[in-house]
């Protein structure tokens, strides 16, 4: 297999950047979609992440995680926060497909819940560690494509612009979407036939994520989403694999 194209969304953005820093010779380019890496205190994070990432709230977070009825209330509440800024035309798809998929990842057994709790608990520590790599990041020659949703209520375009300033060779594309929809554009930009010898970047991301237990659940979840979304690809001008 030739050089790979790691694709990171949300918390798996940590892994995609840190992988290329460790193995630049094996990476053709990196795609980051609405991802955190090393942000300052002005960044706004989803409340569900803050709950499990804040040490002083650990007892409360644990109690909620152990009560399915409480966790079941929290998920739709958080989902509504992501949906609120979307254009009306995108809300039905989010509600019927993405929202349902995200909820099932937590409520259907085996659940992603325990992995999410572990990942979120390390969220701020991981960013602190990543901040130590910023000087190395600035010298990175590998191209990084930043694809960002205009209507993401948390990891905003301002975060993307700051990320671009931290990188030597980065481009930024803002799409009229929320937190989750940009992966369709990324799929179009990293199609396998455009890079001889490269398997599907979504499969690469799944394999990559499975070997990174701290941040793997996000990559696996979105791989499943992309597979499930194949039937919707045509409406976005992206042919199915």
Count structural domains, the chain: 1
Residue 183 and residue 34: Cα distance in Å, rounded?
A: 10
DSSP 236: G
pLDDT of the chain along its 241 residues, tens only? 789 999 999 988 999 999 999 999 999 999 999 999 998 878 899 999 999 999 999 999 999 988 888 988 999 999 999 999 999 999 998 888 888 888 888 888 888 888 899 999 999 999 999 999 999 999 999 999 999 999 999 999 999 999 999 999 999 999 999 997 655 444 444 444 333 323 233 333 333 333 333 333 333 333 333 333 334 333 433 333 3
Please indicate, yes or no, if residue 24 is contained in any of the structural domains: yes
- Report CA Rg, the chain: 17
In a domain, 103, yes or no: yes
CB atoms within 10 A of CB 81: 15
Residue 180 tokens, joined: 């989750």
User: What local confidence, expressed as pLDDT, does residue 181 receive?
Assistant: 66
pLDDT (0 to 100) of residue 201: 36
DSSP element (H, E) containing 223: helix 216-228
- Please state the φ and ψ torsions of residue 152, each to the nearest 5 degrees: -65, 120
Cα(201)–Cα(58) distance, integer angstroms: 36
pTM for the complete prediction? 0.74
pLDDT of residue 111: 84
Residue 25 domain-assigned? yes
Give a yes or no: residue 241 inside a domain: no
Q: Is residue 1 part of a domain?
A: no
Task: Please give the pLDDT value at position 43.
Answer: 86
pLDDT at 241: 36
* CA gap 87, 192 in Å, rounded: 31
Rounded CA separation 190/30 (Å): 10
Domain containing 77 equals 7-236
Q: Is residue 84 part of a domain?
A: yes
Would residue 72 count as lying in a domain? yes
**What pLDDT does 236 receive?**
37
Quote the pLDDT of residue 223: 34
CATH code at 91? 3.40.50
Does residue 2 lie in a domain region?
no
């Amino acid at each position: 297999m030739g050089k790979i194209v790691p694709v990171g969304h949300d918390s798996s953005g940590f892994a995609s950047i840190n992988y290329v820093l460790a193995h630049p010779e094996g990476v053709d380019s990196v795609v980051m979609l609405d991802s955190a890496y090393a942000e300052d205190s002005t960044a706004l994070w989803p409340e569900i992440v803050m709950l499990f990432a804040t040490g002083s709230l650990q007892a409360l977070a644990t109690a909620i995680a152990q009560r399915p009825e409480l966790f079941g209330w929290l998920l739709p509440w958080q989902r509504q926060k992501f949906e609120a800024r979307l254009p009306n035309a995108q809300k039905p798809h989010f509600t019927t497909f993405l929202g349902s998929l995200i909820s099932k990842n937590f409520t259907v057994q085996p659940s992603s819940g325990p992995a999410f709790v572990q990942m979120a608990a390390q969220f701020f520590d991981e960013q602190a560690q990543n901040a130590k790599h910023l000087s190395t990041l600035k010298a990175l020659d590998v191209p990084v494509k930043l694809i960002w949703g205009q209507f993401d209520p948390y990891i905003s375009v301002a975060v993307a612009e700051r990320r671009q300033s931290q990188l030597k060779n980065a481009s930024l594309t803002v799409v009229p979407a929320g937190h989750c929809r940009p992966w369709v554009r990324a799929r179009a930009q990293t199609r396998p036939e455009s890079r001889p010898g490269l398997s599907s970047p979504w499969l690469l991301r799944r394999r990559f994520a499975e070997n990174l237990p701290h941040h793997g659940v996000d990559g696996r979840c979105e791989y499943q989403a992309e597979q499930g979304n194949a039937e919707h690809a045509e409406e976005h001008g992206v042919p199915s694999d």
